Structure 1
Amino acid sequence: MSLTNKYFVLATDLDGTLLRSDQSISQFDASMLFKLQEGGVNVVFASGRTSFDVINRYEKLGLRRENAYVIGTAGCEIVKISDRSLLYTNGLTAEVVPIAVDFCKANNYNIEFYYKTTHLVCTKLNKHHDYHARVTDLQTTVISYEEMKERCIKSPPMKFLITEDPELVSTKIIPSLKELLPPSAKPVRTEPFYCEVIPSSEGKAHALEWLCENIFHCSMENVLSVGDSGNDVDMLLSCGGSYCPSNASDAAKEVAKHISTYSNEENCVGQMINSVFFENKYKPDEDT
């Protein structure tokens, strides 16, 4: 089967978009992704999670692994699925580390980063960290602010994640970091209780542009994207087509070209694929 459509690539976010609240992917969404691949469309999972976590999600669905790629750590990594080779990586600069860590220490905020593919290294435990560790299935290591600063200056992470109550994130953390961080880094709200600190030059859109130029040999006009949060905004803006689920953040809804009437609990990705590529041929309650 070969699909006739201007879109050669589908890029989908995971949390709040393809994943339901119980961390599962619906059978309908999975079946639509399969049909898309069968039609020759490249399916790219683009997430703030580590690339290897994203690959595990991809492989559990049984999607085609050959010539398939994932974007991890909010655009800081691109990995080829078949051999897990790292094609592209970029992270924070050392100058960002003391600013971000000292800010969190002064306000007693938890700040954390991914260590290898197995651990979340954090400065304190709270319910928002616990949620993050649970959904990513990573082990937790708690260290002092000073140890984190020392370790991360020597080897800067790709991103930091600050996990605090939603009001603090929106009214204190994001505005303060916008003032404090150097031009090389930016704060992005990805969940009500998450603030990510990522390189200003990076993002899911930048990673997709790299894939389009170096792998898929098409333009961003040929990419259809779907996402729900702050770290999806650049991707939704840059792609030829873009959707967000009904549960998306205001930031995502402001820039997406289309807002779905379906949420991540209601097959929003599958419904979008069904509408754009298959003229609503399939129904969620059918064995597709």
Structure 2
Amino acid sequence: MITCYTLVDGMLTPHAIKPGTALPQGALWIDLHCPTDEEEKFLEDSLAVNIPTQEEIAEIEESSRLYESERAIHLTTTVVSGFNEHQPHATVLNFVLTPEWLVTVRYAEMSAFRAFRTKVGQHPAMHQRSDTIFISLLDSLVDRIADILESVQAHHNRLASAIFNEQTPDPDSPRAPKTDLQSIVKQLGRSNLLLARLSDSLLGINRLVSYIRRAAREWISRDAKDWMKTVERDARSLGDYQARMNTEVGFLLDATLGLINIEQNSIIKVFSIASVLFLPPTLVGTVYGMNFHSMPELDWTFGYPMALVAMIISAIIPYGWFKFRGWL
């Protein structure tokens, strides 16, 4: 889908464009959302510039993501999409920037673009040049990353409470509720993966800002340069915050695995003590289970009760010793 934005009474106004129709005069921003081959070819012919395909913008080497052509500056970065649907994934976003217009190529719906359109309506005077539109989009991406980090931090706080808070027993239940530690490990793993993707996004945004500052220094406006400094500072601070959250994830994961080990050791302790308690009675039973002819106890009237009493006493003695030493 091609959406073309032009200035109408000082306001960016969208126009849906189909291949075969002429682009509006004064097109300032052209947004390609999941474009078809026909739409890419149409825009390339209309603007006389190369529009990269999905396979081309997916390349990871820096020379394929940041470069200049004869007419435009081409910039590609990785962003996180699908967080609201609880299915966050990494997707690529491409910018084709000239002093006259900006083209964005994306293959996923992004909350940052919806927030950007709202920002355009609130501050129309700040979005009347291609460079300021570009920087404003980056600013919206950084704001969206900040929102996601805040949400992830709140989730970590809930996990920390579940891990470290003492469980209050239910008066109607003989056992206290247990925390699902296995689920917490999985949630921490997903958080770590999401933080890694956010780190890639912040790194990509910083690279875009650094590159555009050099490549467009001859024509970029003063307002855009000042805005870039703010975006760069925010991205750097979010990078530090994300690194701290990575450390927090590691700590919570270590604590969870430690609790799992303690729980497993408690279970093994029970089995070990049970085996020790039953070992002496087993010995007594084994002795009187032997089939020798000369065993005086076999002829005793109280031989069987005596063997049972001996087995019980042999179990009570190690149990009392364990209690005395505080092992139980």
Query: Is the TM value for this pair above 0.5?
Result: no
The structure number with the bigger radius of gyration is 2
Q: Which has the higher helix share?
A: 2
Q: Which has the higher strand share?
A: 1
TM-score range (shorter-chain normalised) is under 0.3
The one of the two structures with greater contact order (alpha-carbon pairs below 8 A, sep at least 6) is: 1
